[in-house]
Structure 1
Amino acid sequence: MNFKALTTTFVLTMGMATVAAADQRYVLQYDSPANDASLTNKGKGRKPSKFGYIQTALPLGNGRLGAMFSGGVDTEHLLINDITLWMNAKRGADPVTQSGSRTSGSKDLETVRQVYRDGKYGTKPDSMESLSTKYLSSTEPLGNYAPFTDVLISTGHDPKTVSDYRRTLNARTGLGTVVYAIGNTTFTREFFCSHPHDVLVARYTASDASLNLTIKATTKHKLGQPKAAGDRIVLTGQAKMVQDDIQFMQIVQVDAGDAAVTPQADGSLLIAGADEVTMLVAGYTDYLPVFPAFKGRDYESDCNKTISQAATLGYDALKKSHVDDVSGLMDRCRLELDFEPAGLTTDQLVTTGGSQELENLYFNYSRYLQLSCSRGAPVPSNLQGLWNADLKPMWNCDYHTDINVQMNYWMVDPANLSESFRPFVNWTKILAQSGAHTARETFGVDQGWSMGLNGNVYGFTAQNVHGRRNQQAGHWLCQNLFDHYAFNQDKEYLEEIYPVLKGAAEFFVEYLAPWKDGSLVVYPTWSPENAYLVAQHGKLNKQAYGASWDQQLLLNLFTDCIEASAVLNRDEDFRKTLQNLIPKLCPQKIGQYGQLQEWPEDWDNPKDTHRHISHLIALHPGRDISPLVTKELYQAALVTMEHRGDESTGWSTGWKTCFWARLHNGDKAHQIYRFLTAKRAYANLFDFHPPFQIDGNFGGAAGVCEMLLQSHLRSVDASASTIGEAAYVAYQQDPSMKNHYTPIVPTETLADAPYILHLLPALPSAWPSGHVKGLRARGGFEVDISWDGGKLTAAKVRSTGGGTFRLFAEGVLSDNIELQQGQSHTWLESNK
């Protein structure tokens, strides 16, 4: 079937409603409400699901303000979140305390390092694990992300009388709908969360009937108190902190036309005999991203101003601006696989074992989630993006820096949602400011900044005692920062982040220490969450030295700093310092099984199927291992992937999709991606990692981008006709030790090397025909690609700012191609 014809000819009929096939790639649809244990909605005659509200309700968001709607017939449950509402932590402390830093750590660092050098493995009181916790870990509270409020809208409708029920979320427009019939009357609800006007909007209508609603606002925070007056509910409250409670306000304003709106003593609003009801919800906390106070927003004034402006505009204007905003971003990048719609609801689609339809929908939905939970906010998306119902969520719903927060942003640039990256930048700049105290107090490093495993919105950069884990994270966070520049080539942005990059590098320049063989390594450290020599020392034997992921990321960081310094024409002496250090870094090593070693010692166990595969960071999201350039390291990465196996948690499955795409095995990447979409997705397509983690959604979408387009390699030889000869190589084999690969010092001319755009590097055979529009490539390019019969048929590369690139397609490397801003280059199969 022709996929272009598909978008205009097919219509799915479902009860009283229809969904055009053009929307099949964007619309999540259900024939029953979400499961909500707090209410009486159990679904129309269905057995209760083992999954609850957070796994079955549908998400809305504008990047800061979020909501989920249940679609309950008798009671609609709107869960409201504000991404700045964190509790159980400190704010407004002195800068050192606010950073969480262990102030005595610097004098004890050598004590800790000595037990590393002595090989004190295990968990005894004198072990690396125990002393790192004792001397370096913070005693300050991290806190946790918390829900904001709940808005409950009661209709008085009996679920048993309902027919033709339908609940949908259109990821292209950001509109949620609920439609059902009672007798001859059709009841309709529409929901959206506006970024242009910063409000949640809900509208209720009915055909040939009146609406009688009760609207109530509540909060899980003990001091919240709703008050109803006129057409408004005003809820003010406090979220508990260890120091300086968070203040917040929410306003719910109702427009019921000529119908009566009656405030009730319990703070609710009663609406009787309305033809149409529109509700506006605005809410803010007093949080401001200012270290160390993190306070100062005039949240009450902002709340009143926002709700008044939205009410003045009215529903139609709010909806139009919202749809224009969301669809404009969603339409930048469109994946169109060639499939025949199955005519199933989304929850049914998940249970079928996988399909192109589900895979297409999952990608587009992940892009929707991205712009919904990270845009225009002072902090980035967290473990659950934006949506959380629990006062004590799993893993604090925090910022894990051993992959999770970084994975949240892998797909932003490739999938053409660069605006979503700004919250990550703002947060990292705060970390650099706070982390300077951690570097000095905990590690005795006077220059630069340090970041540990867990972060919050209050500048926590310390080594957290959680999980007895000691690690550094500045180098991985900076990888995201520089990669954003690689995609957009914005020198003003590079100026902005350069101090953060330099500060991270400065810390490691001083923190690196020689190991027994004289090479420089990071320690204390670990290879995230994985243990070694388990039979000898137990499953908590995790603390280590010179873990491969640290060393790979250091080469990445130093190389990026050298390039940024050259582009900005500054810090020549510091550039030379980094160039002198790179050859001294511990090499990457191939072990006894042919695997890429996870640690500098050959401790890998071929039966180890741990979900973290951090020692392949140089493969992805890094750029230094490639089937086309580093053959031996590529083979070692293959062995590692075979050892680790296929099944894992959602986020790990997303990462494995990216790994296999970078290994140019499209069928294996697709196998993993299908497992992610069919076996690691809840009914609402949230990533399956109880209760859920959003990084799996974003990692999977990043994997789709990697299957279709890769642009991480660079051409340093314009005259070379093969990619192996042209591409920059970051590691070289040590002639004296053939299984060791030492880092290479980049020349300053690397900054001028064009990126190589590799078209369809890992196209799976399960996707024989299709089209993708608007993928982004490093160097500042947008790319459209079409394929048929498993072969590339056409591609167009557009320059967003002017630049040079090389194309690698069908095994052929082009010459340098230079485009001015707005110009495009077309590749056609007929012109090969």
Structure 2
Amino acid sequence: MNSNLIKFFLILLFTSYCTNISAQSKHVLWYKQPAEFFEESLVLGNGKMGATVFGGVNSDKIYLNDITLWSGEPVNANMNPEAYKNISAIREALKNENYKLAEELNKKVQGKNSEKYAPLGTMEIKNSNNGKVLNYYRELDISNAVSKVSYEIDGVKFTREYFVSAPDQIVVIKLTSSQKGALSFDINSSSLLQSKVTVTDNVLTMKGTAPINEHSNYQVQPSFLQQKERGTRFTTLMKIKNTDGTIVTGNNTIGVKDATEAVIYVSIATSFNGFDKNPASEGEGLNDKSIALQNLNKAFIKSFDKLKSSHIADYQKFYNRVTLDLGKTTAPDLPTDERLLRYADGKEDKNLEILYFNYGRYLLISSSRTLGVPANLQGIWNPYLNPPWSSNYTMNINLEENYWLAENTNLSEMHLPLLSFIKNLSVTGKVTAKTFYGVNEGWAGAHNSDIWAMTNPVGQFGKEEPMWACWPMAGAWLSTHIWEHYIFTQDVIYLKKEGYPLMKGAAEFCLGWMVTDKNGNLITSPSTSPENQYKLTDGFVGATMYGGTADLAMIRECFDKTIKASKILNIDAEFRGKLEKTLSKLHPYQIGKKGNLQEWYFDWDDNDPKHRHQSQLFGLFPGDHITPLKTPDLAEASRKTLEIKGDETTGWSKGWRINLWARLWDGNRAYKMFRELLRYVDPDGKKTETPRRGGGTYPNLFDAHPPFQIDGNFGGAAAVAEMLVQSNENEIRLLPALPDAWEQGSVKGICARGGFELEITWNNKKLEKVIVFSKKGGKTTLVFGDKKQNITLEKGQKLEINW
């Protein structure tokens, strides 16, 4: 072989090596152009403040949000005190199989709709540099929660760096130029809400107020933007620290002229002071301006480098807990939007799959760190006055799906905002249980909620459809999150002091809500199956019925977990016995003529056979009382149900279905849907000749319902963990739904029930090594295929097993 040929092959080998070592990152989203649409932007957050960065050159838009800025005031839970009086008439109509009458009567058991998550404002950085832009680059590095933009104009390189700090409660933006004195820019701020912008002492201040009223059809009425002395106030402060050049100000702008480097500090605060406190008049610490000013002043005396290092250290203590590797990849290094398009064509890109998983964890850390205020339908990133579905807490799946990855991907602290929110719901929920449902014990939650912990059934007092408005099972579902937190963390103190009383209250409501059917079994009446409708042989289409499968599945799960909690705490033996006895009397699951798990009490047809909800499969996932081993017939009926529904659905529904397929131990079907969840979707406002629409993933990796809903991101990330590890109180099943595409890999830091943390390595789809760490001490059984191994560990002990 001649020397030129050898040289050629060496270059080829080196190029291939470089491609692999610089292969598309598992931690970086990057682009060759600024964002034009919201669904192309890059988002940052510290669990309270959110920043949405577009990265424009002459004008850089940054949407600002605060998770506590909502319309409304504390809810009047007693809004419809005699609604419960309609329940007996609905039950009578159902007993007579008069579903049309029951449907109409069910509208009488409705209250107000939820309030809205509000957009705080838009910050704009206007640059004075004009000329041809070269080498534009924009990224979000989710390993350190920092975004960067860089480009060149006339030989000068300009850079911007952005992060939102949790330790310092501040948004920080650093701007630099490679040439001394070449940096000049102005900042302005505006809001869709009632607001006023002023500049004093080189500080730009924007003060405003959220509207106080929700109105039907999710529309904010302009008149409510003008209300005085009511609603949640907000303050945004912006200040610039310059190393050289001159600070310049206008009537409503601040900026820098002829600088080389400058740092912008943005502080945000609201007057929200708790779900039951009037944000205009009640409680301590309601001076939003003084809170914002205090945070600004504390941060301003710190250097950019100190703020950044503190931010990264705080963030990485959560993010770095889990590491996923899926083996070798041959995919080229492309911008993220191009990667998605390539992946949608069926190409391999294992690191994109890892990036999507890591991004889900990033989003939860960034949007869920405020007690009592969990991540909403859009996390914390909302630019709209009228956001889709009010960007509220939709509790018949979406809020819960947001938190499916909290415990198993080692982010238990991020679960706490939801758990504390459940405590708030139990307060208003006691009133709801009595006044809407006539149940005097326990608490109930319904389809929607908001920052005010609203629990009533929605529907604008009879104006909207029972198929989504009339559903009282949120308490039963949410109570299982309390158990999940306990069983993963083994935190008995939490279970005793906070968790169990909430679980018991949810179970008490269910006990009081059920009635006996003609066969002597316990059912719910009235009942609906979330957002779905049946079709009768006479052509009637409705939602109101009795004995819905989803209701009973959630009650089974609620009772089962409450019984287990009672045993662990060794309390409430009499109540526990009542739950056990009631469980045995519940109307059993039914398998329909198509081999499916029936959604309705009778074997009725679905009005939409491919409906996005699959609530009747709750017992398979997120519940665990249906499994291929314990209940093979029900597992097979669940499989048939999924096959009938098909794989084409909304983004969040795909996230749920991937988890369901994983629980059926069908890794290849789960993986097929996971790939479809990552299907490229065009931004909503983008006009193209052949638009790519439907459920999938936007260019910035946001989930496309469409429109954007964050639950699909969280559900999809949770499903990756579910494919690799499944567990209960007694066993840990390793690689239960491993697809052929992931034949080799490793995962470190994933959590299992019982307080265990795992590191797993596999090759050729065979388990090679597992390292088990016990946080509190305990025993479990490891399962891989047909092989089992019992282990017992002390607190803090680690065990390595070569399988």
Secondary structure at 1:516 match in 2: coil
Any residues of structure 2 matched to 1:669-680 within 5 Å, and which? 669-679=670-680, 680=696
Secondary structure at 2:740 match in 1: coil
Is contact 1:98-1:292 (8 Å) kept? no
Secondary structure at 2:314 match in 1: helix
Query: Aligned residue for 1:824?
Result: 798
Superposed displacement of residue 682, structure 1 = 0.2
Is contact 2:34-2:56 (8 Å) kept? yes
Distance of 1:534 and 1:688 partners within structure 2: 33
Letter of the aligned partner of 1:231 in structure 2?
Answer: N
After the TM superposition, which of the residue ranges 287-296 and 68-77 deviates more from structure 2?
287-296
Superposed displacement of residue 607, structure 1 = 7.8
1:409 aligns with 2:403: yes
Letter of the aligned partner of 2:725 in structure 1?
Answer: L
- The 1:822/1:131 distance shift into structure 2, 3 A limit, reads same
Is contact 2:372-2:424 (8 Å) kept? no
Deviations 1:345-388 (A, max 9, x none): 00011111153222111111111011101013430011111100
Deviations 1:94-145 (A, max 9, x none): xxx62264211122210122112222224xxxx2222111x2100x342211
Deviations 1:302-325 (A, max 9, x none): 111111111122211110011112
Letter of the aligned partner of 1:631 in structure 2?
Answer: P
Letter of the aligned partner of 1:282 in structure 2?
Answer: S
From 266, 288, 298, the equivalent of 1:299 is: 288
Superposed displacement of residue 260, structure 1 = 1.4
Query: Aligned residue for 1:698?
Result: 714
Superposed displacement of residue 10, structure 1 = 5.8
Query: Aligned residue for 2:500?
Result: 498
Secondary structure at 2:338 match in 1: helix
Is contact 1:67-1:78 (8 Å) kept? yes
Identity rate, percent: 36
Superposed displacement of residue 292, structure 1 = 5.3
From 334, 337, 343, the equivalent of 1:347 is: 337
From 197, 200, 225, the equivalent of 1:226 is: 197
From 357, 364, 371, the equivalent of 2:365 is: 371
Superposed displacement of residue 270, structure 1 = 2.8
Query: Aligned residue for 2:61?
Result: 77
Superposed displacement of residue 606, structure 1 = 11
**Structure 1: segments with no counterpart, 5+ residues:** 1-5, 13-18, 36-51, 92-96, 713-753
Runs of 4+ in structure 1 displaced over 4 angstroms? 8-12, 604-607
1:687 aligns with 2:703: yes
Is contact 2:129-2:184 (8 Å) kept? no
Any residues of structure 2 matched to 1:415-814 within 5 Å, and which? 415-465=409-459, 466-468=464-466, 469-472=469-472, 473-495=474-496, 496-533=498-535, 536-539=538-541, 541-604=542-605, 608-679=609-680, 680-712=696-728, 754-814=729-789
1:201 aligns with 2:176: no
Distance of 2:92 and 2:193 partners within structure 1: 47
Distance of 1:248 and 1:455 partners within structure 2: 22
1:311 aligns with 2:296: no
**Structure 2: segments with no counterpart, 5+ residues:** 1-12, 214-226, 681-695
Distance of 1:590 and 1:148 partners within structure 2: 50
Query: Aligned residue for 1:175?
Result: 146
Is contact 2:23-2:331 (8 Å) kept? no
- The 1:21/1:129 distance shift into structure 2, 3 A limit, reads farther
Letter of the aligned partner of 2:470 in structure 1?
Answer: N
Query: Aligned residue for 2:159?
Result: 188
Distance of 1:116 and 1:292 partners within structure 2: 41
Deviations 1:235-279 (A, max 9, x none): 1111110393211111111101232112211x1113101111101
Distance of 1:163 and 1:657 partners within structure 2: 42
Any residues of structure 2 matched to 1:80-99 within 5 Å, and which? 80-87=64-71, 89-91=72-74, 98-99=76-77
After the TM superposition, which of the residue ranges 605-614 and 340-349 deviates more from structure 2?
605-614
Superposed displacement of residue 90, structure 1 = 3.4
Query: Aligned residue for 1:252?
Result: 238
Query: Aligned residue for 1:715?
Result: none
Query: Aligned residue for 1:46?
Result: none
Distance of 1:305 and 1:692 partners within structure 2: 34
Query: Aligned residue for 1:161?
Result: 132
Deviations 1:490-541 (A, max 9, x none): 01111211111111111111111112222111122211111112663455x1
- The 1:378/1:605 distance shift into structure 2, 3 A limit, reads closer
Is contact 1:593-1:606 (8 Å) kept? no
After the TM superposition, which of the residue ranges 545-554 and 290-299 deviates more from structure 2?
290-299
- The 1:157/1:113 distance shift into structure 2, 3 A limit, reads farther
Deviations 1:672-717 (A, max 9, x none): 00000124000001001232000000000111011000003xxxxx
Secondary structure at 1:107 match in 2: helix
Is contact 1:258-1:274 (8 Å) kept? yes
After the TM superposition, which of the residue ranges 549-558 and 55-64 deviates more from structure 2?
549-558
Distance of 1:453 and 1:119 partners within structure 2: 25
Is contact 2:24-2:351 (8 Å) kept? no
Distance of 2:332 and 2:465 partners within structure 1: 45
Distance of 1:630 and 1:149 partners within structure 2: 52
Any residues of structure 2 matched to 1:88-167 within 5 Å, and which? 89-91=72-74, 98-99=76-77, 101-122=79-100, 127-133=101-107, 135-138=108-111, 140-158=112-130, 161-167=132-138
Give the paired residue count: 742
Normalising to structure 1: TM-score of the pair?
0.87
Is contact 1:607-1:644 (8 Å) kept? no
Normalising to structure 2: TM-score of the pair?
0.90
- C-alpha RMSD of the superposition: 1.9
1:394 aligns with 2:388: yes
Is contact 1:146-1:388 (8 Å) kept? yes
Letter of the aligned partner of 1:709 in structure 2?
Answer: V
Distance of 1:422 and 1:9 partners within structure 2: 46
Superposed displacement of residue 157, structure 1 = 3.1
Distance of 1:695 and 1:534 partners within structure 2: 33
- The 1:283/1:566 distance shift into structure 2, 3 A limit, reads same
Letter of the aligned partner of 2:600 in structure 1?
Answer: W
Secondary structure at 2:76 match in 1: helix
Letter of the aligned partner of 2:117 in structure 1?
Answer: Y
Secondary structure at 1:392 match in 2: coil
Distance of 2:56 and 2:401 partners within structure 1: 33
Deviations 1:23-81 (A, max 9, x none): 7001000000000xxxxxxxxxxxxxxxx2x2010000011110110010101111000
Distance of 1:285 and 1:537 partners within structure 2: 52
Superposed displacement of residue 462, structure 1 = 0.4
Secondary structure at 1:766 match in 2: helix
Superposed displacement of residue 545, structure 1 = 1.4
Distance of 1:452 and 1:560 partners within structure 2: 20
Distance of 2:538 and 2:389 partners within structure 1: 29
Superposed displacement of residue 769, structure 1 = 1.4
Letter of the aligned partner of 1:273 in structure 2?
Answer: D
Letter of the aligned partner of 1:700 in structure 2?
Answer: G
Query: Aligned residue for 1:724?
Result: none
Deviations 1:392-445 (A, max 9, x none): 111111111110000000011111111111110111111000110111111221
Secondary structure at 1:814 match in 2: strand
Deviations 1:1-20 (A, max 9, x none): xxxxx9x99656xxxxxx97
Distance of 1:698 and 1:582 partners within structure 2: 31
